């Protein structure tokens, strides 16, 4: 699912920055090794939790232009995968129980990636970003050294409060962040 998400960001970067050279495996995999992606498909693999695991964070460079469109690229591709999977699940009669389980797990995983891509949502709202930190706990994918061991540093709580205020009351995006 992270590969689908990374491909969405990569394709939008190619389209909006007119940079065909950006289509590279390390961009699609969000700077992760192919072996790490394959290993993550095995059962009982660890899930990255910030401040507990010393693991590489998935990320992809945002570039300088059309940040909002590129921010939605990953989420859009996950949503497209959801629509296709739902269509397949509900229009193909006689799907066996094993295939139905796989499709439902695929749906769940795409929903998790979609709703945990906080850096994409923040970049879309603010219109600025250096990188998109995708996947689990995307909002804290790039901690600062002065955050200590806080799961949600004060700066993120402040940002989230302003973001919710913007969504509820339509505050200008210059006021957010």
List pLDDT tens digits, range 3-35: 888 888 889 889 998 888 888 887 887 777 888
| 114 and 169 share one domain | no
Residues 39 and 88 in one domain: yes
What is the value of pTM for the model shown? 0.66
Query: How large is the average pLDDT for residues 34-41?
Result: 76
Split at pLDDT 50, 70, 90, the class of 177 is: very low
Better-predicted residue by pLDDT, 116 or 146: 116
Report d(CA 81, CA 172) in Å as an integer. 32
Q: How far is Cα 83 from Cα 62, in angstroms, rounded to an integer? A: 26
- Beta-bridge partners for 133: 59
d(CA 67, CA 124): 7
pLDDT at position 26, please?
78
SS3 132: strand
Report pLDDT for 47: 59
Pair (123, 51) in one structural domain: yes
- Judgement on whether residues 159 and 80 belong to the same structural domain of the protein: no
Are 112 and 160 in the same domain? no
Q: Which domain holds residue 161?
A: 150-177
Q: Are residues 107 and 156 in the same domain?
A: no
Q: How many domains in the chain?
A: 2
**Which pair of tokens denotes residue 120?**
């994409």
Residue of 131 and 108 predicted with greater confidence: 108
Mean pLDDT of the 71-88 span: 93
User: Quick one: 120 and 172 in the same domain?
Assistant: no
Confidence band of 116 (pLDDT split at 50, 70, 90): confident
Given a contact cutoff of 8 angstroms between Cβ atoms, the answer to whether 70 and 61 are in contact is no
155 and 136, same domain (yes or no): no
23 and 63, same domain (yes or no): yes
């Amino acid at each position: 699912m992270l590969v689908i998400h990374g491909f969405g960001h990569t394709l939008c970067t190619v389209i909006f920055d007119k940079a065909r050279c950006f289509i590279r495996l390390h961009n699609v995999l969000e700077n992760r090794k192919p072996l790490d992606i394959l290993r993550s498909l095995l059962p009982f693999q660890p899930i990255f939790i910030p401040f507990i695991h010393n693991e590489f964070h998935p990320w992809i460079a945002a570039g300088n232009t059309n940040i909002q469109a590129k921010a939605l690229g990953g989420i859009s591709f996950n949503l497209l995968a959801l629509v296709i999977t739902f269509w397949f699940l509900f229009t193909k009669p006689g799907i066996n129980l094993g295939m139905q389980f796989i499709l439902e797990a695929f749906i769940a995983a795409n929903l998790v990636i979609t709703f945990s891509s906080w850096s994409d949502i923040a970049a879309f709202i603010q219109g600025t970003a250096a990188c998109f930190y995708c996947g689990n706990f995307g909002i804290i994918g790039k901690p600062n050294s002065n955050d200590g061991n806080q799961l949600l540093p004060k700066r993120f709580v402040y940002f989230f409060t302003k973001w919710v205020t913007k969504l509820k009351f339509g505050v200008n995006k210059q006021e957010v962040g």
